[in-house]
Chains A and B, each alone.
Chain A
């Protein structure tokens, strides 16, 4: 038996569970990704068929390195926000939902760190 009043137990448990930060974050990353995606498609398409040294040299250019790293990090953040909604909408088994939500966030974080390290290594010529 709980010593809380019924009001205290339901406070903050509205259907939204949180404020508008998720919604705003998804839109802001979407806006940022419009120019970044165009740049990335241009960058990647021009490198089709190039050899290893040429691709590595292209990625090592300061602006390319910065844009590529930013693109991947923002993409993974946007993807994680989107997958979260998809999982919340369609996975109705609570433990599976929670596990997937945590896994998605962890993979997005791991991917971001890995790409930052990889691009830094290429850009710094190590």
Chain B
């Protein structure tokens, strides 16, 4: 994914973080996961838009919409969005702390990284149980 140097320049570019150049680290993996979950959540947002339109359009459109959500692809989208939203939520808080200059040291960013993973996993598991577990 690295870009080419400007024409006539021999200056080296730092390589893209994903690929053979760097060992995967918690910090870089969570960073790209924040982006991936963000892009995935756009699908969730569009689904929410379609859901609002279906709800306003009448019982027939709503039935079709909820049938889609209940299907395998719909469940994947809902479950994936719940998981992605909880990760993006906790890691977003981590980023906001960094933005005000707090918790930027290496030990601190690793600690908050693990906290984000644990928090997102617990919250998403509880949320998914509330959605699918009660039957």
Contacts and interface: CB of A to CB of B under 8 A. Distances in A.
B63 interface: yes
A30 B52 contact: no
Contact of B56 (A33, A86, A119): A119
- Interface SS of chain B: helix, strand, loop or mixed? helix
Interface residues of B, number: 30
**A interface residue count range (under 10 / 10 to 19 / 20 to 34 / 35 or more):** 20 to 34
B118 interface: no
Nearest to A49: B134
Interface in A36-54: 37, 41, 45, 48, 52
A96 interface: no
- Interface SS of chain A: helix, strand, loop or mixed? helix
Contacts of A103: none
B53 interface: yes
A33 to B, nearest CB: 8
A83 B42 contact: yes
What are the 3 closest A-B residue pairs judged by CB atoms, nearest first?
A118-B56, A118-B52, A111-B49
Interface of A: 27, 30-31, 33-34, 37, 41, 45, 48, 52, 55-56, 59, 68, 72, 75-76, 79, 82-83, 86, 90, 92, 107, 111, 114-115, 117-119, 121-122
Interface of B: 1, 3, 35, 38-39, 41-42, 45-46, 48-49, 52-53, 55-57, 59, 62-63, 82, 85, 89, 92-93, 95-96, 99, 127, 130-131
